[in-house]
Amino acid sequence: MPSILPGHLYTFAALLAVSSLLVFSFMVYAGTARTSSEIRLLNKLLDHVAADASELLNIALTVNATIERQLQMPSAIGNQQYWLRLRNDSSSAWLEGGLGATPIEGSELKAYLPNGAFVSGSYLSGHGSAKLTCFLDDGILRVQLSSANGD
């Protein structure tokens, strides 16, 4: 009988190790699936805001007036904060975004805007609706993104 007990203990330890590995791998898989769906939702939001900005740019150019639009934004994506930021360089303008409370440089989530616009501003989730302002300034199209309540 004494030789059977260590065999059962080794079997129990092996089952415990394999079970722990399986539980951990399922937790990682669930986290990855949740993150990929949050990234997909953020991409949709970027496309929506970029489409609104493009529409406002066309209107501002056509009527030569300042156009503002408040956009209802979700307070979070999943259970995470997100940020949006308008950026440009000498050749293009884009809206970029990411998950978290701090904007990071070189975000891979981008939606491009029409060329020729000078863009600026950012929005952090949880601060109410976003405000897009488009206007013509000395012949230069400008777009600003901000929180509608001024934060």
**150, pLDDT greater than 70:** no
Residue 120 and residue 139 in contact, taking contact as beta carbons nearer than 8 Å: no
pTM for this model (two decimals): 0.76
C-alpha–C-alpha distance, residues 123 and 143, integer Å: 13
pLDDT in tens, 74-125: 999 988 899 999 998 888 899 999 988 888 787 778 998 887 789 999 999 9
**1, pLDDT greater than 70:** no
Annotated domain spans of the chain: 4-147
